[in-house]
């Protein structure tokens, strides 16, 4: 029997919110262009914004229809992060360390949203191409809310990596069976102190020794 990978899908609520915001922005831009009498620099800027947002909304709709939404796939020996056109695969045995940080990102003067970031360090360089086609060969992969996964999923990713990287390959199938059968409990693998660190500390660092 083939072992099924465990997949964390992009947050549907987050995707829906971004898609609706893009539709609203397109409507505002279209109305501005409709009632503009002259071609001004602002007119050109709004037209460019409309073209970019429209193109990305079409791509996002295609991504949803084709079921290519961003996701994190946990396999027996490695995990894969897929975001739009970029993809990175990391073996658990190659991971040397990671740290989980929690930041407060201000969107307005009077309101802020909590944001968790997970930084993963691998023994081998990871090539990541972002939306703007900028390529980096730094040995770091940053998974954050731009991946369209929510805070709880960031936390789940960190805790799963914490567990999978500390367990040897021969003991991981049992973990995956529990994950896919909805019988998995973090408390079976992490003590209360570990969970408290992940939940409340501003930063948690973990280094891994050589594993097979």
pLDDT higher than 80, residue 125: no
pLDDT higher than 50, residue 130: no
Per DSSP, what are the bridge partners of residue 91?
78
Answer yes or no: do 108 and 199 share one domain.
yes
Calculate mean pLDDT across residues 112-117: 62
The token pair at 59 is 């791509």
Answer yes or no: do 92 and 175 share one domain.
yes
The token pair at 35 is 């009632």
pLDDT digits (tens, 9 = 90+) for 159-211: 888 888 888 888 899 999 988 888 888 777 777 666 666 655 555 666 766 55
Model confidence at 127, pLDDT cuts 50, 70, 90, reads low
Model confidence at 96, pLDDT cuts 50, 70, 90, reads confident
The answer as to whether 103 is a domain residue is yes
The answer as to whether 6 is a domain residue is no
Answer yes or no: do 37 and 109 share one domain.
no
Answer yes or no: do 141 and 171 share one domain.
yes
pLDDT higher than 70, residue 137: no
The percentage of residues in the chain with a pLDDT greater than 70, rounded to a whole number, is 69
Amino acid 105: pLDDT: 52
The answer as to whether 59 is a domain residue is yes
Calculate mean pLDDT across residues 19-24: 89
Backbone phi and psi for residue 168, each to the nearest 5 degrees, phi listed first: -75, 160
Strands (DSSP E) found in the chain: 6-9, 71-74, 78-83, 86-91, 95-106, 112-122, 128-129, 135-136, 140-143, 203-207
Burial of residue 157 (CB within 10 Å: 0-12, 13-18, 19+) is buried
pTM of the entire predicted model: 0.72
Q: For the chain, give the mean pLDDT.
A: 76
Distance CA 53, CA 44 (A): 14
> Which residue range forms the structural domain that includes residue 27?
12-65
Query: If DSSP codes are grouped into helix, strand and coil, which group holds residue 124?
Result: coil
Calculate mean pLDDT across residues 27-55: 88
Amino acid 139: pLDDT: 60
Decide: 17 and 11 in contact? Cβ < 8 Å: no
| Least confident range of 76-80, 137-141, 157-161 | 137-141
Calculate mean pLDDT across residues 144-172: 78
Answer yes or no: do 149 and 60 share one domain.
no
Instruction: List the one residue out of 8, 190, 142, 168 whose CA is nearest residue 77.
Output: 168
pLDDT higher than 90, residue 80: no
Amino acid 192: pLDDT: 66
């Amino acid at each position: 029997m083939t072992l099924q990978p465990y997949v964390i899908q992009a947050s549907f609520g987050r995707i829906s919110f971004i898609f609706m915001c893009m539709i609203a922005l397109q409507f505002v831009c279209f109305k501005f262009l409709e009632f503009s009498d002259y071609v001004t620099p602002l007119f050109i800027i709004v037209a460019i914004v409309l073209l970019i947002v429209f193109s990305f909304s079409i791509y996002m709709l295609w991504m949803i229809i084709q079921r290519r939404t961003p996701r994190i796939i946990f396999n027996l020996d490695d995990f894969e992060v897929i975001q739009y056109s970029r993809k990175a695969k990391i073996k658990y045995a190659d991971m040397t360390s990671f740290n989980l940080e929690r930041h407060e990102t201000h969107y307005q003067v009077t309101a802020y949203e909590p944001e968790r970031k997970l930084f993963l360090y691998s023994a081998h360089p990871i090539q990541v191409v972002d939306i703007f086609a900028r390529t980096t060969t730094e040995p770091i992969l940053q998974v954050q809310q731009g991946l369209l996964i929510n805070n709880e999923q960031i936390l789940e990713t960190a805790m799963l990596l914490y567990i999978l990287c500390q367990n040897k390959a021969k003991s991981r199938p049992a973990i995956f069976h529990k994950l896919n059968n909805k019988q998995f409990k973090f408390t079976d693998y992490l003590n209360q102190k570990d969970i408290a660190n992940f939940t409340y500390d501003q930063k948690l660092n973990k280094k891994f020794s050589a594993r097979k």
